[in-house]
A and B are shown apart, each in its own frame.
Chain A
Amino acid sequence: MAVGGIGELVDATNRVMPRLDSIANNISNMGTSGFKADRLYYLKEKDPSSGGAGMKTTPLLVVDFSQGSLAATGNPLDLAVKGDGFFVVKTKNGEAYTRKGNFTVNKNNELVTQDGDLLVGESGKITLNGNNVVVSENGEVSVDGNRVGKLKIVKFAKPSLLVRDGNGLFSDPGGAGLGMNDKPEVQAGFLEMSNVQSIREMVEMINVQRTVDIYQKGIQTISEQDKLSTSRVGRVG
């Protein structure tokens, strides 16, 4: 029955719309350091409620954890992780993980994020009393030549399970497989830029728009057919 076809196309249109939301968020964060782009996909799978014959679509949001390019800032408290790994930050909701390394100090000279959350080192917070802060490539922090701590860099077996909290923070609801990165590569004086690729976003945007156009044509065609069948079928002559 043709009217059922309209229902499917309306469902499909409703599924495409959030893809533009995700694209808009990526484009909006093209200049956000440490930002990771995401992409919304739909999976077709068997629908058991239909007795195995029907198919169902399930949304799947995939965060792209690839490395963003590193930009030199010259600020000794700007840190970037090269390759796998996250900085550990203590927020009021527990530990969070971030790739955004534009750190600063608070009034107690402790290393914090721009929002004031403490950066966690291997032996607790890192306090910088002195002038000359040097962060080595393996994450050792020294002030005026004295070692004051080591950055805790963690990695995840399944980073796709991390939940994004905004402000560049990720948290682990459990199951992401937290582990230490024993050989981290930290670059001081650099910030990791957003990994959004503008061309990809533009192409996706065109794709989404054209898909909606096609669905609209489909809906119009079906309703046209319905109109014809209701007005012509049964007419004599």
Chain B
Amino acid sequence: MIRALWTAATGMSAKQTCLDVVANNLANLSTVGFKKSRAEFQDLMYQIQKRSGFETSSGIQSPIGIEIGMGSKLTAVQKFFTQGDYVQTGNDFDWSIEGDGFFQVDDNGRTLYTRAGNFKKSKDGFLVTADGLKLIPNVTVPEETVTFTIDAGGMWTALDGKGAKLGSGQLEIAKFVNPAGLTSLGHNLFEESEGSGPAKTGKPAQDGYGSISQHFLEMSNVNSVDEMIYMIEALRAYEMNSKAIQTADQMLQTVSNLKR
């Protein structure tokens, strides 16, 4: 009986985590390049009360054992790399990747990955993220630049007012076998992990890499309706787990009331 109390308690704490994840998704409903997550659970170990094959009173070997489960636990918070909505901004340095791939940025020698393409020009002319991390390969925008373009294949060109070319280069983006295995670092940044596999870089719009759209930003892929449904689901499941605790409690009370 005490087992049922604890089993239902694991269910309640699992649902709490579920709500934490939903809350984070909702908080990032309008974060550029944000990818939603979902909590994943698995069943805990089973307490074996009788092994299969135990002999019943009539001498028959019972085919099935009696295993009582001990509840559930969190296994992973899985990220979903589905496409977010695109928003036109008109800004030359707002880029989005249509399809698979991540922009690569440099954090003091460590390469990190992001889907947020809202780049800025740093004071020395490099294109950087909002947090000041440089794009890899570096994109330098000369001071006299008037027009800056990047095509779907990642080829960028900086032109001055008379149409003379000041600089150009090729952007490369990275792909992973299992992007869901990337580690989130916050600030819209992801880091390669064992689960994601190593990054493979390539030119956009080729070999399955997504293409670049200038003047567009990829918004969060959180769908508020979905999140609301998950929230209701988590809340109701939480309530049902608490009902199991109440029932166990009331049954214990019934038993203790035997002696008056």
Contact = CB atoms under 8 A, between A and B. Distances in A.
Contacts of B69: 21-22, 25-26, 28-29, 38, 164, 166
Contacts of B233: 31
Interface in A49-107: 49, 56, 58-62, 73-75, 77, 100, 102, 104-107
A48 B78 CA distance: 55
B237 A20 contact: no
Contact of A105 (B39, B71, B197, B247): B197
B14 A28 contact: yes
B248 interface: yes
A170 B260 CA distance: 46
Nearest to A46: B58
Contacts, number: 225
A160 B64 contact: yes
A122 B226 CA distance: 37
Interface stretch (A149-157, A178-186, A209-217, A228-236): A209-217
Contact of B200 (A22, A131, A198): A131
A56 B43 contact: no
B194 to A, nearest CB: 4
A131 B101 CA distance: 10
Closest 7 CB pairs of A and B: A28-B11, A25-B69, A166-B45, A56-B57, A24-B7, A24-B4, A107-B194
B146 interface: no
A35 interface: yes
B4 A23 contact: yes
Contacts of A209: 247, 250-251
B42 to A, nearest CB: 5
Contacts of B39: 31
Interface in B220-260: 233-234, 236-237, 240-241, 243-244, 247-248, 250-251, 254-255, 257-258, 260
B82 interface: yes
Given A28-B14, A30-B240, A61-B64, A216 B43 contact: no
A106 B193 CA distance: 9
Given A30-B11, A105-B177, A115 B80 contact: no
Contact of A131 (B67, B177, B251): B177
The DSSP consensus for interface residues of chain B is mixed
B14 A133 contact: no
Contacts of B50: 59
Interface string B198-225: 0010000001100000000000000000
Contact of B14 (A21, A31, A130): A31
A205 B244 contact: yes
Contacts of B64: 60-62, 160-161
B240 A109 contact: no
Nearest to B3: A21
B105 interface: no
Contacts of B11: 24, 27-30
Interface in A1-60: 13, 17-18, 20-33, 35, 38, 40, 45-49, 56, 58-60
B66 interface: yes
Contact of A31 (B66, B70, B72): B72
B24 interface: no
